[in-house]
Amino acid sequence: MLKYQQIAAEIETYIEEHQLKQGDKLPVLETLMAQFEVSKSTITKSLDLLEQKGAIFQLRGSGIFVRKHKRKGYLSLLSNQGFKKDLEDFNVTSKVIELDVRKPTPEAAENLNIGIDEDIYYVKRVRYINGQTLCYEESYYNKSIVTYLNNEIVSHSIFHYIREGLGLKIGFSDLFLHVGQLTEEEAEYLELEAGLPKLYIESIFHLTNGQPFDYSKISYNYEQSQFVVQANSFLL
Amino acid sequence: MLKYQQIAAEIETYIEEHQLKQGDKLPVLETLMAQFEVSKSTITKSLDLLEQKGAIFQLRGSGIFVRKHKRKGYLSLLSNQGFKKDLEDFNVTSKVIELDVRKPTPEAAENLNIGIDEDIYYVKRVRYINGQTLCYEESYYNKSIVTYLNNEIVSHSIFHYIREGLGLKIGFSDLFLHVGQLTEEEAEYLELEAGLPKLYIESIFHLTNGQPFDYSKISYNYEQSQFVVQANSFLL
DNA sequence: CAGTGGTCTAGACCACTAT
DNA sequence: TAGTGGTCTAGACCACTGG
């Protein structure tokens, strides 16, 4: 682990363990430099990381302060992390409805940046959190990248398998969010009524080299859909 | 304007003007250093900024590439920018329903970090975008910070006035997002039916020194509620 | 293994905050 | 105006990608 990541992690742990609150002051730069025995730039990089994550804020001429929101139970939506791993703290299970190799829809081909004659894995799932329906999901995986999937893999974490099993490096994603109403089919899978609200997300995941490998359309149970965004500076 | 911001802006303009697409390669670091006559760290900082914004991605050992999503008409939701200024490109107007000085609700006092006996400005508005209803909004401003508001200010951009008129520096915000159903009152103001979906956002805005000055509860017309998140690395 | 991006340093100098 | 964070430099060295 890199120095600046290590230091960021340690500072975060420190804040956690000492139960520091919003506005509490951290040691000044010089102290931190001495304490961690690194140069100013390295400390600065650590602090910038924590600032991005919404853990602290820095005020030139004044100091470094803890930043914290008080509410629990929200999914953190950060531009540099995507949906956080918070979900994994809960018991998430999946029921596989369909899994096969087929040709992509024109829409899927477009988003995966492939021809409509190339193979993809098609996966349809319903996911549950603590026994309640979480989302209904249709996914398309570029088969020339994600070369193999089976029922076992798909009913657990596909992404974990992609990283660990296939050794691929996931880089970044584009998420498109809408609010809408459940269709009959979605409502049935989510055990809700048609016409009720849904959070609908289309996502495209890319490897670190920019190749898209997964295009998914997901409808979330609105009762489970609450998240927090910690925003920083403003260009407004 | 700082060097690294200036350079980032120029690179972004360059991408725009040359209509570069996802995957197009930018010059290597050494070239950029020479071209802008700055040190490596400065270029790196510019590029990191652009990477955060989702404009490029960098691949060690390979190069610097353009990153772009194709869809238009989405509000960009970035952790380091909040809701982007995209909205200002459209014609947004406001109708003020209520505006007065009063005592905060316990909830507002809690979120503004003040006592329930201190004064706040209470504002209720409906906002329109291109003639359609955009959102219904209830806001509480800490009067000891936002010392004056009137109908004229409130029917235009309150934040613009806070920055320019009052000379305050806005630092960061916490947004809490939910999906839900419109109440009778909200539906009436938004010219929709009760029970239809809504995007509901509670937001708390802080000055650069961490003081909260605005607590707002906003219900968005779901037809206007679509946004994009460009996420980067993964801790998953 | 050549090319390229990433980390880290030591230090000069600048800009903002609070008193 | 003292204290504190932010920018920028020049350069050494490291780590990854792809032919």
The residues in B 99-158 lying below 8 A from A, measured between CB atoms, are none
Reported as a pLDDT band with limits 50, 70 and 90, residue A145 is very high
The answer, yes or no, to whether residue A171 has pLDDT greater than 60, is yes
Q: What is the pLDDT of residues B182-194, one digit of tens each?
A: 999 999 999 999 9
DSSP state at residue A128: E
| Neighbouring C-alpha atoms within 13 Å toward the C-beta of B137 | 25
Q: Do A176 and B54 touch (CB under 8 A)?
A: no
Q: A215 by DSSP, 3-state: which?
A: strand
Q: How much is the pLDDT for B118?
A: 96
Are B215 and B111 spatial neighbours (Cβ–Cβ below 8 Å)? yes
The model's confidence at residue A83, banded by pLDDT at 50, 70 and 90, is low
CA of A191 to C1' of C11 (A): 64
How high is the pLDDT of residue A210?
Answer: 95
pLDDT of residue A233: 65
Judged by CB atoms closer than 8 Å, whether chains meet at A22 and B210 is answered as yes
Residue A115 in this model has a pLDDT that exceeds 80: yes
Quote the distance between the C-alpha of residue B33 and its chain's center: 32
- Strand C contact with B47 (CB < 7 A): yes
| Nearest CA-CA distance, residue B83 and chain A, Å | 8
Mean per-residue pLDDT, A178-192: 96
Q: State both tokens at B211.
A: 């003081």
CB < 7 A from strand D, the residues are A 28-30, 40-41, 44, 47, 58-64, 169, 208-209; B 2-4, 37-42, 45, 59-62
pLDDT of residue A172: 93
Q: What is the pLDDT of residue B86?
A: 57
Higher pLDDT, A210 or A78: A210
Per-residue pLDDT at A87: 56
> Could you give the CA distance from residue A100 to residue A163 in angstroms, rounded to a whole number?
21
CA-to-CA distance for A14 and A27, rounded, in angstroms?
A: 12
pLDDT of residue A88: 57
Q: Convert the pLDDT of each residue in B114-149 to its tens digit.
A: 999 999 999 999 999 888 999 999 999 999 999 999
The CA distance from A19 to the nearest CA of chain B, in Å, is 18
Checking if the pLDDT of A84 tops 80, the result is: no
pLDDT of the residue at B79: 54
A76: enclosing H helix or E strand: strand A75-78
Q: Is B192 on the interface with A (CB under 8 A)?
A: no
B96 touches chain A (CB under 8 A): no
Q: For chain B, list residues with pLDDT below 70.
A: 78-89, 233-236
Cβ neighbours of residue A110 under 8 Å, at least 6 residues apart? none
